[in-house]
């Protein structure tokens, strides 16, 4: 069926009456009566003075469902929009179906279609990598900040091709708590890869304590690296805190070295390969460098490699210098410096998480199946556009645009390469899958039941573990000033 490829139009009631005002049988004047409206569809009966009756429907139906109800629902869901916000657009006298209808269509057709398309796409990606040893990046994204997150989605990305290979959704009651969801997601992701005969050569993550222990004990043959951005961000935060604490006693002299420390960490990781000792030696040299000492750092790294430079140096042994040294040479940090990733980083995962925020906003609550489907939508969108070409001028020069990072408040201005606009080819696959599913299972109750079977076993709602309460008693307590 190709009806979904044809354009859909909004028609005003007055224009509709004008078109249907002439009787098709005798040519006389007709009076139009709206018999019923069903979502986006309207049925109008035209009756002339001679008694001729003509019934007209604004669109075709499949059984009792207007096709545009499915198309509009698909447009809302596949674009990552919220129906509650979308329906507000139609409140200006535009005919629209209810939230209940949307939820029915979503559970019966849209979510199963999304899962089927993702599983097919994922199987094709994994089949290409059978027997290979991959370098992957892993990270967890919680649906809310703090220690009360309901969902944690763990994603594994192929850092060589910049594609999301695996997405695991963990509900907090499936683990020991919200802080354990990241480890559980990683375990499931690795198990899924092993089931598809794919081995993990290198894994780049943040410095999550549980992940470090798990990889060290359970996967000793996998090289576990730490993403430099995550480590540098932690050091930067500590140095900024020191700067604030030390302002009264000359601590503002630390500020010019905060950005330098972050850059030094990147240089340390990129220039040292897999030599853990050399990484630690290069990083520790920062303590001497800030005090204008550039020789005699250590046996592995005896002297600085930069050109002579003029800076506002710290006085060796001063309070600011001691505070900076305590951060740079922290035993916990020094232990992890040796495992900084020398080549691949997880920048792509941070971009992917930003796309997830569009499809599954942290300000909204989603049920498990809907949340999982939205994660898959974000992954398909990212994979299709992750390697978009960079825009060049007619002369073949790369185009750039200026960006003002919000967190820097205008203090740092950067340039970013311009890329071609995103494409949405995956949406056509999703829409066709939803239509095919409607044609195969026209009864929405049967389709919903079949959708649950496709999902398999899902975790029980968190509220099931709570003690049942009496609503009337709660109302009474709410109204009483003695409770």
Per-position DSSP letters for 377-426, written without gaps between them: HHHHHHHHHTTPPBPB-TTSPBPEEEE--GGGTTS--EEEE-BPPP--HH
The helix/strand/coil state of 278 is helix
What order do you get walking across the sheet with 30-38 strand by strand? Answer: 30-38, 41-48, 53-57
Beta-sheet pairing, 41-48 with 65-66 = unpaired
pLDDT tens digits, the chain, 483 residues: what are they? 566 677 888 888 888 888 888 998 888 899 888 888 888 899 999 999 888 999 998 888 888 889 999 999 999 999 999 999 888 888 888 889 999 999 999 999 999 999 999 999 999 999 999 988 899 999 999 988 777 889 999 999 999 999 999 999 999 999 988 889 999 999 999 999 999 999 999 999 999 999 999 999 999 999 999 999 999 999 999 988 876 665 555 567 888 899 999 999 999 999 999 999 999 999 999 999 999 999 999 999 999 988 888 888 998 988 888 889 999 999 999 999 999 999 899 999 999 999 999 999 998 889 999 999 999 999 999 999 998 888 888 888 888 888 887 766 666 788 888 888 999 999 999 999 999 999 988 887 888 888 777 777 888 888 888 888 889 988 988 888 776
| Cα gap 396→389, rounded to integer Å | 13
Coarse DSSP helix, strand, coil percentages of the chain, rounded to the nearest 5 percent = 50, 15, 35
Separation between Cα atoms, residue 111 and residue 269, nearest integer Å: 43
3-state SS track over 252-314: HHHHHHHHHHHHHHHHHHHHCCCCHHHHHHHHHHHHHHCCCCCECCCCCCCECCCCCCCCCCC
Per the CB < 8 A criterion, the answer to whether 161 and 189 are in contact is no
Whole-prediction pTM: 0.90
Nearest to 121 by CA among 384, 342, 365, 324: 384
């Amino acid at each position: 069926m190709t009806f979904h490829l044809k354009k859909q139009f909004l028609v005003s009631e007055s224009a509709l009456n004008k078109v249907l005002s002439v009787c098709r049988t005798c040519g006389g004047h007709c009076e139009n009566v709206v018999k019923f409206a069903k979502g986006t569809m309207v049925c109008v009966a035209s009756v002339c003075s001679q008694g001729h009756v003509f019934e007209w429907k604004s669109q075709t139906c499949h059984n009792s469902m207007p096709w545009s109800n499915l198309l509009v629902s698909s447009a809302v869901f596949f674009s990552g929009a919220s129906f509650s916000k979308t329906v507000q657009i139609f409140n200006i006298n535009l005919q629209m179906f209810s939230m209940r209808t949307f939820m029915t269509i979503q559970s019966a057709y849209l979510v199963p279609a999304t899962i089927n398309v993702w599983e097919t796409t994922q199987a094709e990606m994994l089949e290409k990598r059978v027997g290979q040893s991959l370098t992957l990046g892993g990270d967890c994204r919680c649906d809310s900040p703090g220690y009360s997150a309901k969902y944690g989605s763990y994603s594994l990305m192929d850092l060589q091709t910049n594609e999301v290979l695996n997405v695991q959704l963990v509900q907090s009651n499936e683990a020991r708590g919200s802080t354990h969801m990241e480890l559980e997601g990683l375990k499931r992701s690795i198990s899924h890869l092993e089931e598809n005969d794919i081995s993990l050569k290198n894994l780049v993550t943040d410095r999550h304590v549980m992940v470090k222990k798990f990889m060290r004990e359970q996967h000793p043959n996998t090289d576990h690296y730490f993403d430099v951005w995550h480590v540098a961000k932690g050091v930067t935060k500590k140095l900024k805190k020191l700067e604030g604490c030390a302002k009264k006693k000359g601590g503002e002299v630390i500020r010019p070295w905060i950005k330098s420390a972050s850059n030094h960490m990147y240089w340390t990781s990129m220039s040292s390969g897999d030599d853990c000792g050399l990484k630690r030696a290069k990083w520790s040299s920062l303590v001497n460098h800030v005090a204008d000492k550039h020789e005699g750092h250590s046996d592995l790294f005896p002297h600085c490699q930069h050109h002579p430079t003029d800076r506002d140096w710290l006085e060796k042994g001063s309070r600011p210098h001691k505070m900076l040294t305590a951060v740079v040479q922290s035993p916990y940090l020094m232990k992890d410096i040796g495992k900084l990733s020398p080549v691949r980083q997880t920048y792509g995962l941070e971009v992917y998480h930003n796309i997830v925020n569009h499809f599954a906003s942290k300000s909204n609550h989603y049920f498990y199946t809907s949340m999982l489907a939205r994660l898959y939508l974000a992954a398909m969108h990212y994979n299709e556009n992750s390697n978009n070409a960079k825009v060049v001028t007619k002369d073949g020069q790369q185009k750039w645009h200026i960006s003002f990072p919000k967190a820097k408040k205008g203090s740092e201005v950067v340039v970013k390469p311009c890329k071609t606009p995103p494409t949405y080819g995956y949406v056509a696959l999703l829409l066709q899958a939803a239509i095919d599913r409607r044609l195969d299972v026209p009864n929405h109750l049967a389709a919903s039941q079949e959708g649950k079977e496709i999902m398999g076993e899902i975790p029980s709602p968190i509220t099931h573990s709570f003690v049942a309460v009496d609503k009337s008693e709660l109302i009474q307590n709410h109204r009483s000033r003695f409770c």
